[in-house]
A and B are shown apart, each in its own frame.
Chain A
Amino acid sequence: EAQVTQNPRYLITVTGKKLTVTCSQNMNHEYMSWYRQDPGLGLRQIYYSMNVEATDKGDVPEGYKVSRKEKRNFPLILESPSPNQTSLYFCASGQGRHQPQHFGDGTRLSIL
């Protein structure tokens, strides 16, 4: 089954404790992206990757890091999480520019 898998689905943690949210896709997609969703703000793009070793900033990259060492994986790293990063996070993948994106089911992060 074609899917985008995010882990963990839920996480409660404390300020300053480094965390990683993993994202994996099994569709051999070149393009992957991370979004955060906040009430009333819709989806905002954090980072995206057009291919392995090619990443670029979206609208709200501050406080986040990403890496793309393999085609299927695109982890999101919060080096020093802060409460304003409490949000619902989505990973997505697609075949490329102007192609439909397939979203994971989300990761709800709460940072106290």
Chain B
Amino acid sequence: GENVEQHPSTLSVQEGDSAVIKCTYSDSASNYFPWYKQELGKGPQLIIDIRSNVGEKKDQRIAVTLNKTAKHFSLHITETQPEDSAVYFCAASKGSTLGRLYFGRGTQLTVWP
């Protein structure tokens, strides 16, 4: 199967700074990489995703980059705000195993005002 590793497990930044979370995957056939944000007491919510035919995708303060050769992808949050504080999960899936989604172990992001 697929193995997704996520780092760091915790990340503290000052409000206004940038935050970067990195994930690696093991199966070169993986071609879909979503990122989810989980607030306390809630289910994960998709914040951005990227497919393997794209190297970078941006949505306002959030961006994701994908390096297929190195098999890693990263989440970048700029101008962080206290409401960005949450647990973030990366995930990977591939077309040959429809329905399977493999998650990283999560990053607890804390943004200090």
Residue ranges of A at the interface with B (Cβ–Cβ < 8 Å): 4, 31, 33, 35, 40-45, 48-50, 56, 58-59, 90, 92, 97-98, 100-106
Contact = CB atoms under 8 A, between A and B. Distances in A.
Given A42-B105, A100-B34, A58 B100 contact: yes
B76 interface: no
Interface string B16-52: 0000000000000001101010000111111001010
B43 A103 contact: yes
Interface in B81-97: 89, 91, 93, 95
- Chain A binding surface, main DSSP class: strand
Given A33-B99, A98-B93, A42 B49 contact: no
B51 A98 contact: yes
Nearest to A40: B105
B99 A105 contact: no
A83 to B, nearest CB: 22
Interface residues of B, number: 27
Given A90-B43, A106-B43, A31 B99 contact: yes
B38 to A, nearest CB: 8
Given A59-B1, A100-B34, A45 B93 contact: no
Contacts of A97: 93, 95, 98-99
Interface in B45-84: 45-46, 49, 51
Given A44-B103, A98-B31, 20 more contacts: A4-B43, A31-B99, A33-B101, A35-B103, A42-B89, A42-B104, A43-B44, A43-B91, A56-B99, A59-B1, A90-B43, A92-B43, A97-B93, A98-B93, A100-B49, A102-B46, A103-B44, A103-B45, A104-B43, A105-B42
